[in-house]
Amino acid sequence: MPVYPVNVKWGKVRFDNVQVNTDEPPLVFKAQIFALSGVEPERQKVMFKGKVLKDDEDWTNFKLREGVTVMLMGTVGELPKPPEEKTVFAEDLTDAELATTLDMPTGLINLGNTCYMNATIQCLKNVPELCDHLKQYSGQVFAEADPQHILTAALRELFNTMNRSKEACHPLLFLQVLHQVFPQFAEKNEQGMLQQQDANECWIEVVRTLQQKLALGSSSGNAGAGAANSNIIDHTKCIEAPDEPEKCSAEKFYQLPCYISADVKYMQTGIQQRLQETITKNSITLGRNAEYVKSSLINRLPGYLCVQFIRFYFKEKGAINAKILKDVKFSLDLDVFDLCTPELQQKLIPMRNKFKEFEDKNIEKEKVIVKKFYTVIFYLKDTGSNNSGYYELSAVLTHQGRSSNSGHYVAWTKKKEGMFFNIIDILTLGLNVTMIKSQSLQTKIY
């Protein structure tokens, strides 16, 4: 048998019945001796019949048998010194200390079914260009007559409060203004409690307000920046009447819908189903409803692209807004080049070529660690647009639950490379709104 006991003699000390397994490397045997004597393996000199046991060899030249005694030479190393400063564990930190240590975003306190609003605010807070615009905004909460100006000022004050403190904040003022400007979010149930609302509706209303009041389309990029100027071009052709002229129309968009069906496993597929679909509408040529092929392409990309996962639908049985719980995968990067019109693709190609040159240089250099720094770079005559078609994930807003009238909304925002902070609650699988930041190249390598 390869396993048998031996004795180890170390000066005046003797360790009996130390198990040796000759199928394992000698270093394992030395580790056992270290556990008994405290002599580290690199300090050990194990001898038997004039031969020394070496770490990088097998047992061929060091033949042992049951009950033999081997000699150990070596001294115990210096014990490690205790740290000068007392070790502080994460479990011992307060919420504020933990947030400061990990550079976590400031939390928002739920004021009773206001998680939809809190999650929306956290995603918007992750857009630096929007934060910069709000800092420059001079409107006052109580001095403005325009409700949308009041909402913009209230968001600025909330961001300022979140910047000053790591403690969770009460967004009471912003909630009151939100209810004033958009009364639909102030609905209450029979018990007088605020009802749960849809985060996507809140997102759209707030972004539209910011778009109008901050003139975001004419300056640096932001969440929805220039979205009012971004169009989806629809081409509709009748299948049953080939001679009927094709119709072309433009539709402005603030976000791209991702439809979820049985065959949708990835976000790209869900988006393409909206841009390539068959619809039924009245045909003037045939005088009846007929099938049409609707093909859509984007003619301008906003600096920040929002993708809405269409998970809620009205379920007649029970008369509720039910939720599609199917898992849909998405990557941290998104390329929408194939979703653009040929004219826009030609505009995107120069910057995309720079990206390719950048990647090729990295491959040639064969560096182990290469950091890429991205900045939002727009066309000189079209500020607030994306000039490459590449996006990187910046924030995710998720929903937990089966109904839009219940459940819980959670925000995830990106703070470090490959790291997303869960700001409000636990991770959920139901994705509702995905915000993706535009990605452009700055040729610096560190």
| CATH code where residue 140 lies | 3.90.70.10
- Using alpha carbons only, give the angle 172, 254, 401 rounded to the nearest 5 degrees: 55
Residue 416: which pLDDT band, with cuts at 50, 70 and 90? low
pLDDT for res 92: 67
Residue finishing a domain among 73, 107, 128: 73
Please name which of 229, 232, 185 lies closest in space to residue 206, comparing C-alpha atoms: 185
pLDDT in tens, 162-191: 998 877 888 999 999 999 999 999 998 888
Please name which of 235, 232, 323, 338 lies closest in space to residue 279, comparing C-alpha atoms: 235
- Domain assignment present for 192: yes
pLDDT for res 112: 87
Verify that 337 and 196 share a domain, yes or no.
yes
Q: Which two tokens stand for residue 65?
A: 């048998």
Residues in the chain: 446
Distance of CA 384 to the CA centre of its chain: 22
pLDDT for res 225: 40
- pLDDT, average across residues 89-93: 63
- Domain assignment present for 439: yes
Do 330 and 266 form a contact (C-beta atoms < 8 A)? yes
Verify that 139 and 180 share a domain, yes or no.
yes
- pLDDT, average across residues 263-269: 88
Residue finishing a domain among 20, 42, 73: 73
Most confident of 72-76, 133-137, 256-260, 310-314: 133-137
- Domain assignment present for 284: no
- pLDDT, average across residues 88-106: 64
pLDDT for res 213: 84
How high does pLDDT run on average in the chain? 79
pLDDT for res 152: 93
Share of the chain above pLDDT 70, in %: 79
Q: Which residue in this structure is represented by tokens 């647009």? A: 385
Distance CA 238, CA 241 (A): 5
Please name which of 218, 222, 266 lies closest in space to residue 381, comparing C-alpha atoms: 218
pLDDT for res 291: 92
- Domain assignment present for 38: yes
Verify that 185 and 133 share a domain, yes or no.
yes
- pLDDT, average across residues 16-23: 85
pLDDT for res 439: 55
Residue 420: which pLDDT band, with cuts at 50, 70 and 90? low
Which of 133, 149, 399, 408 is catalytic? The answer is 408
Residue finishing a domain among 38, 73, 108: 73
- pLDDT, average across residues 51-56: 82
- Domain assignment present for 369: yes
Distance of CA 388 to the CA centre of its chain: 21
pTM above 0.85, yes or no: no
Burial 260-282 (b: 16+ CB within 10 A, else e): beeebeebbbbbbbbbeeeeeee
Do 294 and 277 form a contact (C-beta atoms < 8 A)? yes
The parent domain of residue 68 ranges over 3-73
- Domain assignment present for 283: no
Verify that 342 and 211 share a domain, yes or no.
yes
Verify that 341 and 215 share a domain, yes or no.
yes
pLDDT in tens, 289-338: 999 999 999 998 888 888 888 887 777 777 777 778 888 888 888 899 99
pLDDT for 10 beyond 60: yes
Verify that 54 and 180 share a domain, yes or no.
no
Please name which of 274, 277, 391, 374 lies closest in space to residue 331, comparing C-alpha atoms: 391
Verify that 339 and 439 share a domain, yes or no.
yes
Verify that 187 and 309 share a domain, yes or no.
yes
Which CATH number is 15's domain given?
3.10.20.90
Do 248 and 231 form a contact (C-beta atoms < 8 A)? no
- Domain assignment present for 270: no
Q: What is the 3-state secondary structure (H, E, C) of the chain?
A: CCEEEEEEEECCEEEEEEEEECCCCHHHHHHHHHHHHCCCHHHCEEEECCEECCCCCCCCCCCCCCCCEEEEECCCCCCCCCCCCCCCCHHHCCHHHHHHHCCCCCCECCCCCCHHHHHHHHHHHCCHHHHHHHHHCCCCCCCCCCHHHHHHHHHHHHHHHHHHCCCCECCHHHHHHHHHHCHHHHCECCCCCECCCCHHHHHHHHHHHHHHHCCHHHCCCCECCCHHHCEEEEEEEECCCCCCCCEEEEEECCCEEEECCCCCCEHHHHHHHHHEEEEEEEECCCCEEEEEEEEEEECCCECEEEEEEECEEEECCCCEEEECCCCCECCCEEECHHHECHHHHHHHHHHHHHHHHHHHHHHHHCCCCCCEEECCCCECCECCECCCCEEEEEEEEEEECCECCCCEEEEEEEEECCEEEECCCCCCCEEEEEEEEECCEEEEEC
pLDDT for res 292: 92
Do 388 and 440 form a contact (C-beta atoms < 8 A)? yes
Residue 117: which pLDDT band, with cuts at 50, 70 and 90? very high
Verify that 412 and 360 share a domain, yes or no.
yes
Distance CA 338, CA 276 (A): 12
Verify that 102 and 36 share a domain, yes or no.
no
- pLDDT, average across residues 73-79: 78
Do 219 and 188 form a contact (C-beta atoms < 8 A)? no
Verify that 160 and 36 share a domain, yes or no.
no
Do 6 and 68 form a contact (C-beta atoms < 8 A)? yes
pLDDT in tens, 354-401: 888 877 776 655 443 333 334 444 444 667 788 888 888 888 888 888
Do 304 and 435 form a contact (C-beta atoms < 8 A)? yes
408 among known catalytic residues: yes
- Domain assignment present for 263: no
Q: Which residues contact 54 (CB under 8 A, 6 or more apart)?
A: 26
Number of independent structural domains in the chain: 2
pLDDT for 156 beyond 90: yes
pLDDT for res 367: 43
Verify that 47 and 146 share a domain, yes or no.
no
Angle of helix 172-181 versus helix 115-125 axis, rounded to 10: 100
pLDDT for res 158: 94
